[in-house]
Amino acid sequence: MEFDTNAVHVGLSRVEGQGVGLAIQQTATFEFDSLENAADVFQGRVEGLQYSRVQNPTTEALEVRLTALENAAGCVVTATGQAATLLALINLCKAGDHIVATSSLFGGSLGLLRNVLPNFGITSSVVPNDATQIQTAIQTNTRLVLLETIGNPAGDIPDFAAISAVCKTAGIALVVDNTWGAVGYLCRPLELGADVVVHSLTKWAAGHGSVLGGAVLARKGFISSSATLSEPDASGTSWNARLGEMAFITRARFIGLHQMGMTLAPASAWQINLGLETVAVRLQKECSNAADLAAWLETHPGVVWVNHSSRASHEHHDLAKKYLRHHPAVLTFGVKGGQAGASAFISSLRLVRHAANLGDTRTMVVHPWTTTHGRLPEAGKRAAGVAPETIRVSVGLEDVQDLQTDFGQALEAALQSALVSQ
């Protein structure tokens, strides 16, 4: 079935007299008939529900739907996107291992690499989004390359064919944060050579800015060469030997949910599942609004540059056309007057919201230099495509004329404030 059909049908039961929509199993735990049955489930001899930290029918329905949308082998959902990224990385790396990541990653992912993983003996190199530079950074202890379908907020697009070939030759995994790929609607990295994708479901998947969630998915046929999966554990055999292509996902569920409690709540899973039903129609409008807004911003005297792959001048215009269904629903632009101009622009907005989220129904702006990337050193911010004048816009479902009117009056106010301060 096609994406739009799977988005509304997969994961629902079809039983006479029962609800058509998904039910919320709002429970922490599940009943057993006998001591023997409980023992079988707890010791993994029989599949069954034991406790909602590990498994719950509502979160499972979401996992089944996401697996279909991304055309994956399997899925584990988590409490946040940040938890999903961490889980994917530690499922493939142990102390002494190394990660190559691209500099245009979301600031929170760069934070994990800088502030968390080194404490557990996992190091990383951060390089530009380029196959040759990635290849050069790979060491004998490198286990994976981490990049994003569309850099946040740089808007750069990876050359999936070239980078996945580099990973394949090196025998390491390609992990892609596909949050901007909208759960497979704009892009399906698992069909472009990625081994694992992660998501912040908080964004376009849920789509209304009302809930947090994350997901980790693995490619069909993915057998990792990482020691965590390929070497024997306490049982005497490896996860790969026991589970084949389901090893990565099953171990992710075990360490992430069972052992570390990164679990998504059933009520959140229900809300995200509902959001998935409209992801395709939302993205069509949001992406078309973003392209219209980018074209209009380019003509405004208060704007010094516009960064959106719909523009023919964009560095990755051709890669975007090759790999994405539409150009993304996010753009960045530079306001005349640097940070002061950006500040005047943001405080003059009347309709558009000033908040750090993506994929909401409402258009939102943020100043990455002082917020999402505020903790990075200046060189790191610039490498991530962030400058003092940068405004990131996550474009919503409004009428694009109303957006232009609001942006126009706020840009005029920013220009006026620059004249006053001269």
Ligand X SMILES: Cc1ncc(COP(=O)(O)O)c(C=O)c1O
CA nearest to 369, candidates 334, 411, 412: 334
CA angle centred on 158, ends 105 and 370, rounded to 5°: 25
**Applying CB under 6 A, does 202 fall inside the site for ligand X?**
yes
In angstroms, what is the minimal distance from the CB of 44 to ligand X?
A: 30
* Nearest residue (CB) to ligand X, 100 versus 138: 100
Q: Single out the segment in contact with ligand X by CB under 6 A; choices: 55-63, 79-87, 272-280, 281-289.
A: 79-87
CA dihedral 47→51→53→55, nearest 10 degrees, is 30
| β-bridge mates for residue 198, sequence order | 177, 216
**Applying CB under 6 A, does 142 fall inside the site for ligand X?**
no
In angstroms, what is the minimal distance from the CB of 391 to ligand X?
A: 16
**Applying CB under 6 A, does 81 fall inside the site for ligand X?**
yes
**Applying CB under 6 A, does 212 fall inside the site for ligand X?**
yes
The residue whose Cβ lies closest to ligand X is 81
Residues of span 102-121 touching ligand X by CB under 6 A? 106, 108
* Nearest residue (CB) to ligand X, 106 versus 407: 106
Q: Which two tokens stand for residue 409?
A: 């009056």
**Applying CB under 6 A, does 177 fall inside the site for ligand X?**
yes
* CA–CA gap between residue 373 and residue 118 (Å, rounded): 20
* Nearest residue (CB) to ligand X, 240 versus 394: 394
**Applying CB under 6 A, does 214 fall inside the site for ligand X?**
yes
**Applying CB under 6 A, does 80 fall inside the site for ligand X?**
yes
Counting beta carbons within 10 angstroms of the beta carbon of residue 4, is it exposed (0 to 12), middle (13 to 18) or buried (19 or more)?
Answer: middle
| β-bridge mates for residue 29, sequence order | 51
CA nearest to 414, candidates 381, 380, 365: 365
The answer to whether 166 and 135 have CB atoms below 8 angstroms apart is yes
* CA–CA gap between residue 290 and residue 352 (Å, rounded): 13
**Applying CB under 6 A, does 239 fall inside the site for ligand X?**
no
* CA–CA gap between residue 57 and residue 190 (Å, rounded): 25
In angstroms, what is the minimal distance from the CB of 408 to ligand X?
A: 27
In angstroms, what is the minimal distance from the CB of 374 to ligand X?
A: 13
Is residue 98 classed as helix, strand or coil in its secondary structure? strand
* Nearest residue (CB) to ligand X, 81 versus 328: 81
Helices (H) then strands (E): counts for the chain: 16, 12
Residues of span 147-176 touching ligand X by CB under 6 A? 148, 152
**Applying CB under 6 A, does 179 fall inside the site for ligand X?**
yes
Q: Single out the segment in contact with ligand X by CB under 6 A; choices: 21-29, 50-58, 78-86, 158-166.
A: 78-86
Give residues in contact with ligand X (CB under 6 A). Answer: 80-82, 85, 106, 108, 148, 152, 177, 179, 200, 202, 212, 214, 358
